[in-house]
Amino acid sequence: MKEYWGSLASILGVLAFCQSLLQVLFPPELRFATLKLFNRIFNVFTSYCYFDITEIDGVNTNELYNAVQLYLSSSVSISGSRLSLTRALNSSAITFGLTSNDTLFDTFNGVTVLWEHIVTQRQAQTFSWRPLPDEKRGFTLRIKKKDKSLILDSYLDYIMEKANEIRRKNEDRLLGSLDSRGHPWESVPFKHPSTFETLAMDPVKKSEIMEDLKDFANGQSFYLKTGRAWKRGYLLYGPPGTGKSSMIAAMANYLGYDIYDLELTEVHNNSELRKLLMKTSSKSIIVIEDIDCSIHLSNRKKGSTNNSSSIGRSYCDPEMRSGPGVGTGDEGGNSITLSGLLNFTDGLWSCCGSERIFVFTTNHIDKLDPALLRSGRMDMHVFMSYCSFPSLKILLKNYLSFEEGDLDGEILKKLEEVIDKAEMTPADISELLIKNRRNKDKAVIELLETLKEKAERKLKSGECVGDKNLNDVEEEEQEKRALESPKEGCNFEDSIEKQEDDEEKKIK
């Protein structure tokens, strides 16, 4: 044993001697230079080039590192064997990532590249105003030299774009609203479950809207090329309970946009409105619900040159309409004008924020100022109708899990016969189905009874649209509106005057 320890000590002594000899013969500077030389020689002969993307660039966080991490997380979830899992703030989604020194192949435009995640311990903490993490993290990208110029720029742009997309998808949608004092914008997570799949409406119309939305969201180059502001306006109209709010939620969920619920009665003047709208973020839907209840005519005696429609609470409120303050512009200091609103939706100010969708809703399209309906103002007018047969099938699927072919053919036929005549809203039908959802047969029978009853009542009272197709009703309404709305170049003043006359007649 003693001999063993003795020989071990002499080996260690020899090693220590060799090391100090090496230090003298190869000082650190020489070793560093040799390593550099070897690297250069290696670089000449290797067919690859390498790019390091560190997590921290100096003292700033490197955006590209985060983007690469997110981008790789979308492909790594399937192939990786040991993954890191993260959940970001404001997100309900979990993302996967490469752990230390893991590698992953990726293909872009037919070129294969290799990503390696490198994690090392940070040596000594140098002084920094911002505390740095203990670990140094970074990605190394390996690309064949011949492919470098071919893909590098476009590949990195693609990664940034994809990462933004994933980030938006993972983040919760936000719903912004004004507080009671009109302070902008208080946000809460928006978790409305409505989607285009659950929305009960004519499938053709639904896919038209979905296509329109997708075209808008992917239309940056189109809007740039044509010199148009990147925004779009939708007017949703129809009776209460036909799904206007559900449609807005479905739009937000479909595009991954935030929603700003603009309550105009909380806004006092045009400049406040402008400031509020300027504070909305891009990729958002700005909603003004029940616009007919927010617009009324004021500040304007007949023949006066002031052509502004004012926005306030009083239009829908008969008391306010006949009470003091109407037409004097002193309704609680609210002096927003229609032109102020339109200035932001399609005037000069519309260019101050891109990728925004404006949605106005109303239960009474006939009460709207024709200036709002004029062509080019709201890009798409969507009529939310009473429940039609295709919509009913969607509701039956939503609430009773009935698939095509599950229901008895005879009952389906009966439902189809009465549904248009009954003029029931999807909201009313949903209520009926929810009530009996534990007993599907009972739910369908009760629904059929109610529909028959309503159809008969409508027929007796002579209100029913009869066998008319709902599309015909919509077309008729649109024709009527087209006749009512002023033609291009027609005086805005006249349209307001006409509406004022109508109002006066109604009040009399």
Ligand X SMILES: Nc1ncnc2c1ncn2[C@@H]1O[C@H](COP(=O)(O)OP(=O)(O)OP(=O)(O)O)[C@@H](O)[C@H]1O
Residues in touch with ligand X (CB under 6 A): 198-201, 240-246, 363, 384, 426-427, 430
Contact 155, 164 (CB under 8 A): no
3-state secondary structure of 336: strand
Number of helices (H) and strands (E) in the chain: give both, helices first.
Answer: 18, 18
CB of 241: closest distance to ligand X in angstroms? 5
Nearer to ligand X, 363 or 495 (CB): 363
Nearer to ligand X, 71 or 383 (CB): 383
Q: Among residues 363, 381, 388, which one has the least CA distance to residue 200?
A: 388
Pairwise CA distance, residues 251 & 284, whole Å: 10
Pairwise CA distance, residues 300 & 310, whole Å: 9
Nearer to ligand X, 71 or 402 (CB): 402
Contact 404, 393 (CB under 8 A): yes
CB of 449: closest distance to ligand X in angstroms? 21
Nearer to ligand X, 266 or 289 (CB): 289
Residue type, 194: S
Q: Among residues 504, 286, 242, which one has the least CA distance to residue 392?
A: 242
Contact 170, 66 (CB under 8 A): no
Q: Among residues 167, 34, 43, which one has the least CA distance to residue 95?
A: 167
C-alpha to C-alpha distances, 158 to 71, 369, 373, 468, 507, nearest whole angstrom = 9, 45, 40, 51, 61
CB of 265: closest distance to ligand X in angstroms? 16
Residue type, 209: I
CB of 391: closest distance to ligand X in angstroms? 6
Q: Among residues 275, 471, 488, which one has the least CA distance to residue 370?
A: 488
Residue type, 380: M
CB of 173: closest distance to ligand X in angstroms? 17
Nearer to ligand X, 428 or 484 (CB): 428
Pairwise CA distance, residues 355 & 49, whole Å: 39
Pairwise CA distance, residues 102 & 80, whole Å: 9
Nearer to ligand X, 168 or 192 (CB): 192
Nearer to ligand X, 246 or 270 (CB): 246
CB of 395: closest distance to ligand X in angstroms? 6
CB of 430: closest distance to ligand X in angstroms? 4
Nearer to ligand X, 55 or 292 (CB): 292
Nearer to ligand X, 159 or 291 (CB): 291
CB of 198: closest distance to ligand X in angstroms? 6
CB of 410: closest distance to ligand X in angstroms? 26
- Helix axis angle for 409-422 and 440-461, nearest 10°, is 40
- Burial letters 109-147, b for 16+ CB under 10 A, else e: eeeebebbbbeeeeeeeeeeeeeeeeeebbbebbbbeeb
Indicate the residue whose CB is closest to ligand X: 243
Nearer to ligand X, 118 or 427 (CB): 427
Nearer to ligand X, 159 or 384 (CB): 384
Quick one: how far is CA 268 from the chain centroid? 28
Write the DSSP string, 206-273: HHHHHHHHHHHHT-HHHHHHHT--SEEEEEEE-STTSSHHHHHHHHHHHHT-EEEE--GGG--SHHHH
CB of 240: closest distance to ligand X in angstroms? 3
Contact 361, 378 (CB under 8 A): no
CB of 423: closest distance to ligand X in angstroms? 14
